[in-house]
Structure 1
Amino acid sequence: MNLEATRRRLTEKQADTVDRLTRAAMEVLSREGFAGLTVRMVAAAAGVGTATAYTYFSSKEHLVAEMFWRRLAATPPPADEDSDSTTRVLAVLRQIAMLVADEPALAGAVTSALLGTDPDVAHLRYRIGSEIRKRLMDASGADADPEIVDHLELLYAGALVRAGMGYASYAEIAEQLEKSALRVLKG
């Protein structure tokens, strides 16, 4: 899969470098945690120079946000056109909530990274938010109410912040999110 990085369009060789950096970042993140992660460490683990890594990623927050964006973009929305819109919306929310559930180091890092002020992170936050909104609107069907989708987005964002802060596991948060979403969807 060749995803465009946030800072520029990539040649095949550049895309390979970005892929190596994001894979290495996961290894370093698992070992060092977000606090210990540095772009320099990731570059060394990927076998590229630090300056090269900074060509693609302005900060560790940008790198982690890119990792989450790539994971979201690579995960197709749940396909179930035969079910009702409520079931489809709940499936989308659960899928996104569980996207990093099996990797606690990444989950916590994503929460921290997406709250950062780096302009490249802000760009990714917009792309991530737009993709999630699109999935919720699509799942809602032709009669999608943008105000309801706004409420669902707030629920989702709050749920993931709570999970990222360690108040509950991602599986528990997904359950709570589903219950809350049902209340919004059913009025």
Structure 2
Amino acid sequence: MSGEVMTESTRRRLSDRQAGTVRRLTDAAVEEVRATGFDGFTVRNVARRAGVAPATAYTYFTSKNHLVTEVFWRRLSTLPPVRPSPEGPRERVVAVLREIALLVSDEPELAAACTTALLGSDPDVQELRLRIGKTIRRRLLSALNPDRAGRPTPEEGRVLNALEFAYAGALVHAGMGYSSYAEMADRLAEVVELLL
């Protein structure tokens, strides 16, 4: 993992001290959402839990959606790179989708909060959503063809689009409570079986 992920906020570059504050806020956000759920979650309460002033928290995060989306982004960013393996593309893609789907699966309150937050409309959420989407797309392309650098072939592009739609739909499906995030991973595996 690059050090840049841990020292760069959506909004600006951070000093070590500022990065520590952001890390405390994101850790406190996870604790707060566990304690209150997303409906009771506020940036002010997260700031209190992190031991910083609310104004300081708002310096880094414009909204609760921004803060929770940052938590998801940081977890996604810590996944190890997709490595070439003797398995076929189907198995590699299933593994990539499973690890992404399971990032927050053992924390139902956080999983639901991430689903809601990722749909937020504020510019900082949109920026993070773009980063998240690009990262997921790169991981899927690496799984489809580990030797490919850069742009997918037209066929790979169509498969990537279908996989991204399947993932987004599964995320919303799980967020609505129709399935668990663990079940979402299994259903995504079924979609990969159909596509590949």
Q: Give the TM interval when normalised to the shorter protein.
A: over 0.9
Residue of structure 2 in register with 1:35 after alignment: 39
User: What runs of 5+ residues in structure 1 fail to find an aligned partner?
Assistant: none
Q: Does 2:52 align with 1:48? A: yes
After TM superposition, list the pairs within 5 Å mapping 1:1-187 onto structure 2.
2-141=6-145, 142=148, 145-185=156-196
1:64/1:109 contact within 8 Å kept: yes
Q: CA deviation at 1:160?
A: 1.1
Partners of 2:37 and 2:175 lie apart in 1 by 13
Q: CA deviation at 1:7?
A: 0.6
Q: How many residues align?
A: 185
Partners of 2:50 and 2:143 lie apart in 1 by 38
Moved over 4 A (4+): none
Given the superposition, is the C-alpha separation of residues 124 and 38 from structure 1 closer, same or farther in structure 2, using an over 3 Å criterion? same
Q: Which string of whole-angstrom CA distances, capped at 9 and with x for unpartnered residues, describes residues 137-163 of structure 1?
A: 111113751111000000011011111
Q: Which string of whole-angstrom CA distances, capped at 9 and with x for unpartnered residues, describes residues 6-48 of structure 1?
A: 0100000000000000011111110011010100000000000
Q: TM-score, normalised by structure 2?
A: 0.91
Q: TM-score, normalised by structure 1?
A: 0.95
Alignment root-mean-square deviation, CA: 1.2
Q: CA deviation at 1:78?
A: 4.8
- Identity, % of aligned pairs? 55
SS at 2:159 equivalent: helix
**76-85 or 162-171, larger mean C-alpha shift:** 76-85
